[in-house]
A and B are shown apart, each in its own frame.
Chain A
């Protein structure tokens, strides 16, 4: 079936290192992807998005890479900081469900070690 999922449920990185969080999607019709950050007890917070006509998009300390050939999405965080510790979700639109709704993956818990 159609799904958005993550390769690893947890990721631990040293403070200052770069983090890479991966996401796989199964529906080639997905045309819009978003990364959200969710801190404990809070709602998801938008980080960065990318359309399917792009391969890469950069923000402040974050980069999203999209490989449509293998249906893979990644979020790279440069110089990871303690405040980056959170659960990161990828979400997609245009494939799994209505174009009006986002379909979320199950999340990766990022832990930044001192």
Chain B
């Protein structure tokens, strides 16, 4: 049973370009979370999605960032017109049920975005 799969693992973009990060949750998981981690810092919540729905996007910047989790296919975190400050590791996590309960999160290996 494969874990949470993220790709690409490393992505380099120039300022103004778009970055697309993909996340396939664990089999049987319908809840996906995106977190951002700056160097030597903790993970900061960005967005929580279920299939075809954004449940909580309180941690996601209002501009340039968007996320989706379509009925078919992986969850996508999209960053438009990237700036150097977007350089970070972006982690996806999935769970079987809402983390209002315990709903242990399983994390992927992360996608490391570098903006030149």
Q: Which A residues are closer than 8 A to B by beta carbons?
A: 4, 32, 34, 36, 41-46, 49, 51, 89, 91, 93, 97-107
Contacts and interface: CB of A to CB of B under 8 A. Distances in A.
Contacts of A102: 43, 45, 99, 105
B109 to A, nearest CB: 5
Which secondary structure dominates where chain B touches chain A? loop
A43 B109 contact: yes
B99, B106, B109 — most chain A CB neighbours (10 Å):
B99
Interface size class of B (residues with CB under 8 A): 20 to 34
B27 to A, nearest CB: 17
B42 A105 contact: yes
B91 A44 contact: yes
A93 B41 contact: no
B1 interface: no
Nearest to A44: B107
Given A43-B4, A44-B91, A100 B109 contact: no
B43 A46 contact: no
Contacts, number: 65
A89 B91 CA distance: 14
A97 B44 contact: no
Given A43-B4, A93-B99, A104 B42 contact: yes
Given A107-B41, A107-B42, A97 B100 contact: no
Contacts of A100: 48, 55-56, 98-100
B106 A104 contact: no
B52 interface: no
Nearest to A49: B102
Contacts of A41: 109
